[in-house]
Structure 1
């Protein structure tokens, strides 16, 4: 979300999220290391997850470590919001080429730092662990039950720049998770109802509202990242070409507003004001494309 806001706003979100739990203790944050330490403490207290390192991002292709991370990736409670069975999509099994994937992610992180120091720095703050495990149906993901944790399963044939886009994609999800922790985005009683779903900007199918808003915001960040940082790829592997992605975002925005207005006519809330403002910002920016 850096290119839709700025890095200062994202840093402020993290600090104010911590302040909600630790009150005046955030005054003790005097360095990046002290911020990382309190952030990792928050993840343990709020989500029960121990990070692999007190300060540094760790990429793990170790089966035992990765399998433990996967078990807590989606929480313990089944939800209608898990519409694509994400809780079962990760295969908890050994994978011979996981070390190759780890090297690809390491190289992509280094490449990200060369392209955008702000994205790289924010990712190294927010993301504590990236674990590698196979799947028959997906190439990675993030979960609101695992803030700071990314599951990665990149194809070995992916060009490096596509893995960079994957990292920006997942970072944006985590920025949204943190923003929601600070502000609150959704009325969950309303969005659990399948009649209130809208069309995703990435998967082009009806999905729960939280997934749809995320898809819209993530897609715009990828579009802006291409436009302002890496250029527009001709044959991208992870995301559609930019012209197609733009049209999908516009269609998804229209679908989401339709759902919002139908519910507002019934005096029901779908998105709280902060989430609406995020959506309005995307709508305003995407008109330039």
Structure 2
């Protein structure tokens, strides 16, 4: 019955049998049949057709309200008894933007798995906007991203601080300059991250504070990851701005990382979840472990 309640709640939230079927990896008729079986068990009609979609009957409204409450209570129960290490198993699917996914999370997840070796992980990496969409679509348990997404359905908690610095090939004349001025590099070729990345959003916000935007610069290349940024800079295409967390290997790759005068770019990484939707036992424990690794202060 609990599974039927959970399915019914998903259908109501998504307003689509087809969307729920796709997310669960089953057919649309299978979802319809299970909702029909739920109605038969309760002895009431829960949904009725309205235009091209459906709406809740008065009984459906009541069942939906109580179903959410019961599902929350069940999650809380499982969380409370989940202190038993024998229950800490299964898979946690985490979404992450490029910097936390490539440079931070592997280390933290290795430590967490030392504590709970039965837990397995799947780490999906993309830009921040894409990961927010995956959290909304229930495709990941939670995400770690480089931008804030506080909406009606999403909530963000600050995790760790980051800053972006100027990076250039060690063979480039700019690498020898003691001081880098923002206006002096506007004509030089620049490499930027893709639209949707927290990295790019932070960079554009910093430019706006100086009364500038990307149109004021010579954009030579747009790429989809920090590793691609480093490779492009190393090849001599131009300069870029790179996270300090991705800069540790710069020297080995023939790159120089430095600050630009009066142009400080700071941002945060955030733990992103669905608002008012409890995580599974294992995902909740992992989330709490990550949250405990750093001081939750304002970035």
Q: TM-score range by the shorter chain?
A: under 0.3
**TM-score, scaled to structure 2:** 0.19
Larger Cα Rg: Structure 1 or Structure 2? 2
Which of the pair has the greater relative contact order for Cα pairs under 8 Å at 6+ separation?
Answer: 2
- Is the helix fraction higher in 1 or 2? 1
